[in-house]
């Protein structure tokens, strides 16, 4: 079978689990090719052919390249959300014009997940918990077209009724880009008058709670949850997600985890998901509030794969083959793994760390905003064992940021 992959964002962020599909590909005698837009790629990172395409490649051009390669099926592993929407369009064109299937959601479902206001309405209609919020229209706040002289007064009244603090999010953006937290009317007034948003934004009640995420994989009505991931932070106001500790599986008996899994599986079914989605949550006072749904693989994909023993990229291949219906109920292994950034580390130190038996991987990542970062995935018996391992790493090498150790300590209390 000839299987094409589409990818945006540096392929290094998909390591090591993307390259781990090599044995599976060889065993099943597949030919695979990666069409990617960002960063560099080589045979160590992807076990097949590869072709770099422009970052602004059109859907039609990408379809032409896939068809010219004579793909039997296509898999989307693109992010962030704008590239997910591109791939959803590619899926529609491939199927309608060339009868080539693609593991990707429909355009309608993808648009619901990309647009935070649409996501909120979709979830509210299903009866699931979301935070209070409303939409600020960029046209009205900037007096484009029809003028609403009292529109700012309307916004102030809505916010004061909802209560501070609030969080303001670009409607279509992702990866925590453009998000602001405001505590006072003065901050809101400055935001609306000095530098008003040029496009629509979502205003929501800001909840100080515990952050979680869970990935759902599947297609054609057959879905499974990856382990629940706890996202630690001593301040939920630090909005760059990769600066913090994450670990899984989170299994605390006092949390309604079974109900949560049933909820996200139903969401996947209602959206007729094809591939992967990442559900972001905040837990407060016994309730899991859904913050957003990412229509794609995510920053949790590698961690989730390491914990469950089910490589998400191989799962996508199984969906492309039509084998997923026989594989999606296989049990999870659920070993404890923590993922966290490193500091004061050289390439030589990173390579030495990779040789440890308890290190799943040490990666070098280049993010969408140009930042670079080393990260480690470390296996342990449980959180307490992980804590002592982190302390040991710092005694030997001083590579674990102090705030990471404190985040783990806080999560254990």
Q: What is the pLDDT of residues 190-202, one digit of tens each?
A: 999 998 999 999 9
Does residue 254 sit in helix, strand or coil? Answer: coil
pLDDT at 112 over 80: yes
Q: Say if residues 216 and 268 touch (Cβ distance below 8 Å).
A: yes
pLDDT at 236 over 60: no
Neighbours of 211 (CB within 10 A): 18
The pLDDT-based confidence of 367 (bands split at 50, 70, 90) is confident
18, 28, 83, 275, 382 from 24: Cα distances, Å = 11, 6, 27, 18, 30
Q: For 53-72, write each residue's pLDDT tens digit.
A: 999 999 999 999 999 999 99
Query: Region 140-166: what's the mean pLDDT?
Result: 94
pLDDT at 237 over 90: no
Give DSSP secondary structure letters for 34-54. Answer: EEE-SS---TTT-SSEEEE--
Mean pLDDT of the chain: 94
Which residues neighbour 309 within 8 Å (Cβ) at sequence distance 6 or greater? 332, 333, 334, 335
Side by side, the strands of the sheet bearing 2-7 are: 49-52, 31-36, 2-7, 73-76, 102-103
Query: Region 10-38: what's the mean pLDDT?
Result: 95
Domain boundaries, the chain: 2-104, 132-205, 208-331, 335-413
Rounded distance between C-alpha atoms, residue 153 and residue 334, angstroms: 51
pTM flag (> 0.75): yes
Q: Say if residues 276 and 216 touch (Cβ distance below 8 Å).
A: yes
At the top level of CATH, the class of 2-104 is alpha beta
Question: CATH assignment of 132-205?
Answer: 3.30.1490.20
Q: For 40-52, write each residue's pLDDT tens digit.
A: 999 999 999 999 9
**Measured torsion, CA atoms of residues 53, 57, 59, 65, in degrees rounded to the nearest 10:** -30
At residue 329, the pLDDT reads 77
At residue 12, the pLDDT reads 87
The pLDDT-based confidence of 267 (bands split at 50, 70, 90) is very high
Rounded distance between C-alpha atoms, residue 217 and residue 320, angstroms: 13
At residue 22, the pLDDT reads 97
CATH of 208-331, one of 3.40.50.1110, 3.30.420.40, 3.30.470.30, 3.30.470.20: 3.30.470.20
């Amino acid at each position: 079978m000839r299987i094409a992959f589409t990818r945006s964002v540096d392929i290094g962020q998909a390591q090591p689990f993307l390259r781990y599909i090599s044995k599976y590909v060889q065993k099943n005698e597949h030919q695979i090719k990666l069409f990617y837009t960002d960063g560099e790629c080589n045979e160590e990172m992807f076990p097949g052919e590869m072709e770099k395409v422009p970052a602004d490649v059109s859907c039609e051009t990408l379809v032409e390249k896939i068809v010219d390669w004579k793909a039997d099926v296509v898999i989307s592993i693109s992010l962030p959300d704008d590239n997910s929407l591109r791939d959803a369009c590619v899926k529609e064109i491939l199927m309608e014009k060339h009868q080539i299937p693609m593991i990707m959601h429909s355009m309608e479902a993808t648009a619901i997940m990309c647009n935070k206001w649409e996501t909120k309405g979709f979830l509210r209609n299903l009866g699931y918990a979301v935070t209070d919020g409303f939409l600020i229209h960029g046209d009205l706040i900037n007096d484009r077209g029809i003028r609403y002289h009292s529109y700012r007064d309307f916004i102030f009244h809505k916010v004061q009724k909802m209560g501070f603090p609030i969080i303001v999010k670009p409607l279509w953006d992702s990866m925590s880009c453009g998000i602001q937290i405001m505590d006072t009317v003065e901050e809101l007034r400055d935001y609306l008058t000095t530098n008003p948003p040029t496009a629509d934004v979502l205003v929501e009640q800001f909840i100080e709670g515990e952050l979680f995420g869970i990935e759902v994989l599947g297609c054609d009505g057959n879905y499974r949850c990856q382990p629940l991931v706890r996202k630690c932070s001593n301040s939920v106001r630090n909005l760059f997600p990769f600066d913090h500790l994450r670990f899984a599986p989170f299994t605390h008996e006092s949390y309604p985890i079974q109900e949560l899994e049933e909820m996200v599986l139903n969401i996947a079914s209602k959206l007729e998901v094809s591939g992967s989605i990442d559900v972001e949550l905040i837990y407060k006072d016994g309730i899991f509030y859904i913050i957003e749904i990412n229509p794609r693989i995510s920053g949790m994909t590698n961690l989730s794969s390491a914990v469950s023993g089910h490589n998400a990229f191989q799962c996508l291949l199984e969906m492309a083959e039509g084998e997923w219906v026989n594989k999606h109920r296989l049990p999870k292994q659920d070993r404890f793994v923590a993922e966290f950034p490193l500091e004061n580390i050289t390439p030589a130190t990173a390579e030495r760390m990779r040789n440890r038996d308890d290190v799943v991987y040490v990666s070098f990542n280049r993010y969408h905003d140009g930042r670079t970062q080393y990260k480690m995935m470390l296996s342990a018996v449980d959180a307490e064992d992980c804590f002592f391992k982190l302390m040991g790493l710092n005694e030997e090498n001083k590579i674990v940021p102090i705030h990471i150790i404190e985040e783990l300590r806080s999560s254990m209390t």
